[in-house]
Amino acid sequence: MALLQIQGIEKRFGGLRAVDGASMDVHQGELLGLIGPNGSGKTTLLNVLSGHLPADAGSVSLDGKNVLGLNPTQLTRLGVLRMFQMTRVFNRMTAFDNLVVCGLALGLHEAQAYERAEQLLDELKLSHVMYLDAGQLSGGQRKLLEFGACFMVPPRVALLDEPFAAVHPIMKETMSEFIRRRNAAGQTFVLVSHDMPVVVDLCPRSVCMNAGKVLAEGNTQDVLQSPAVIEAYLGEESEERDHV
């Protein structure tokens, strides 16, 4: 049985079907790419999975138990953890305290939270800025920090929304390496990204969405070469040209 079974999810905003009957499975230990042109419904689907938006229809089960309708706090406790496209950290707290607070909120004891925060900062090459306020860090460092916060208590599934956007290539490499290492150790990920070389490199399997529906899924290379997927991305490019 899949770790996460997503069936027939629908989410409407007024007359717009942002997610239109999307179904997919996320297997234990896999690193699944979730791709698709701008506006295809990827972020909205993640928002439904993490409890930040109610769905209009469909079902989501984790380990076979229905979790649709739970709120973000309940889902976080069950191990469904979400990293946002827009970085969300406490700017007036140090990088170290940001992680410690997150660990305490997830139920760690103080000593455990300190230890894991130090380990994660080291692993993410942020030890040299650990006592700076998060507001003093670069955008990329803040993103790495938020990313690290997701792993203070390793989740059942980490939902990452564009973690590499606007991140310096060296930090991007640090993040990719972290994802690769954790995945090799059994961590399950869903990775939303427009960075195709990284998706190809990291994700053996991908799902491509378009207009709220699943357009193709399977081996990432095959998905990217599928005529329907190429057409969907070309459609996006010609729409961009029309607006210039």
Ligand X SMILES: Nc1ncnc2c1ncn2[C@@H]1O[C@H](COP(=O)(O)OP(=O)(O)OP(=O)(O)O)[C@@H](O)[C@H]1O
Q: Which of 4, 5, 22, 41 binds ligand X (CB under 6 A)?
A: 41
CA distance 41 to 109: 38
CA distance 19 to 9: 7
Under the criterion CB under 6 A, does residue 214 sit at the interface with ligand X?
no
User: In this chain, which stretch among 31-39, 97-105, 109-117, 229-237 interacts with ligand X, using CB under 6 A?
Assistant: 31-39
Q: Which is nearer to ligand X, 42 or 205 (CB)?
A: 42
Report CA-CA distances (Å) from 57 to 17, 23, 108, 207, 243. 11, 11, 35, 20, 34
Give the number of other Cβ atoms within 10 Å of residue 101's Cβ.
16
Under the criterion CB under 6 A, does residue 141 sit at the interface with ligand X?
no
Q: Which of 8, 39, 72, 154 binds ligand X (CB under 6 A)?
A: 39
Quote the least distance from Cβ 210 to ligand X, whole Å. Answer: 9
Residues 6+ apart with CB under 8 A from 123: 148, 178
Q: Which of 43, 98, 187, 188 binds ligand X (CB under 6 A)?
A: 43
Q: Which is nearer to ligand X, 36 or 58 (CB)?
A: 36
Nearest partner of 222 among 205, 210, 236, judged by Cα: 205
User: In this chain, which stretch among 11-19, 61-69, 128-136, 140-148 interacts with ligand X, using CB under 6 A?
Assistant: 11-19
User: In this chain, which stretch among 24-32, 42-50, 103-111, 166-174 interacts with ligand X, using CB under 6 A?
Assistant: 42-50
Quote the least distance from Cβ 194 to ligand X, whole Å. Answer: 6
Helix (H, G, I), strand (E, B) or coil at 99: helix
Q: Which is nearer to ligand X, 43 or 187 (CB)?
A: 43
| Total of chain residues touching ligand X, rule CB under 6 A | 11
The radius of gyration computed from the CA coordinates of the chain, to the nearest angstrom, equals 18
Residues 75 and 51 sit within 8 Å (Cβ to Cβ): yes
- Length of the chain in residues, anyone? 244
Under the criterion CB under 6 A, does residue 131 sit at the interface with ligand X?
no
One-letter identity of residue 158: A
Under the criterion CB under 6 A, does residue 38 sit at the interface with ligand X?
yes
CA distance 37 to 43: 12
CA distance 88 to 207: 26
Under the criterion CB under 6 A, does residue 166 sit at the interface with ligand X?
no
CA distance 145 to 126: 8
Quote the least distance from Cβ 39 to ligand X, whole Å. Answer: 4
Q: Which is nearer to ligand X, 15 or 227 (CB)?
A: 15
Residues that bind ligand X (CB under 6 A): 13, 16, 18, 36, 38-44
